[in-house]
Amino acid sequence: MSKVKVVVRLEESQRHRIDKVASALTSRGMEVEARMPILGHIAGVCDESQLDALKDVPGVASVRRERAFTV
C-alpha cells in the first residue's frame, strides 16, 4: 500500500478531546506525527486505503492529504 501524509481536522466541539481522537486514529492505522490543539488538527501518515476509516472516527470533521510545496 502507498503511504500518504494527512491532516485531520477535528470538529470544533471536540478540540479538547484531541488526545482521545488521536488514539482512535492510531487504532485505525494512522501514525500520528503531530497534534495541534489550538488549530484542532492532527497530522500523520497512513495507508491510502485507510483514509475512509479515518473519516469515520467520532470527532473528525475532515481528512485531507497534506500538500507538499517546493520552491
Residue 70 lies in a domain: no
Q: Region 38-51: what's the mean pLDDT?
A: 94
Residue 54 lies in a domain: yes
Which of 28, 20, 23 shows the shortest CA–CA distance to 55?
A: 28
| Chain CA centroid to CA 69, Å | 20
Residue 43 lies in a domain: yes
Q: Region 45-64: what's the mean pLDDT?
A: 95
Residue 39 lies in a domain: yes
pLDDT of residue 4: 93
pLDDT of residue 71 exceeding 80, the answer is no
pLDDT of residue 36: 96
pLDDT of residue 68 exceeding 80, the answer is no
Model confidence at 34, pLDDT cuts 50, 70, 90, reads very high
Counting the structural domains of the chain, the total is 1
Other Cβ atoms less than 10 A from the Cβ of 48: the count is 11
CATH number of the domain to which 61 belongs = 3.30.70.260
Q: Report d(CA 7, CA 36) in Å as an integer.
A: 10
Residue 11 lies in a domain: yes
H/E run at residue 43: strand 41-47
pLDDT of residue 66: 80
Residue 71 lies in a domain: no
Residue 55 lies in a domain: yes
Domain of 16 in residue numbering reads as 3-65
Tell me the whole-structure pTM to 2 decimals.
0.89
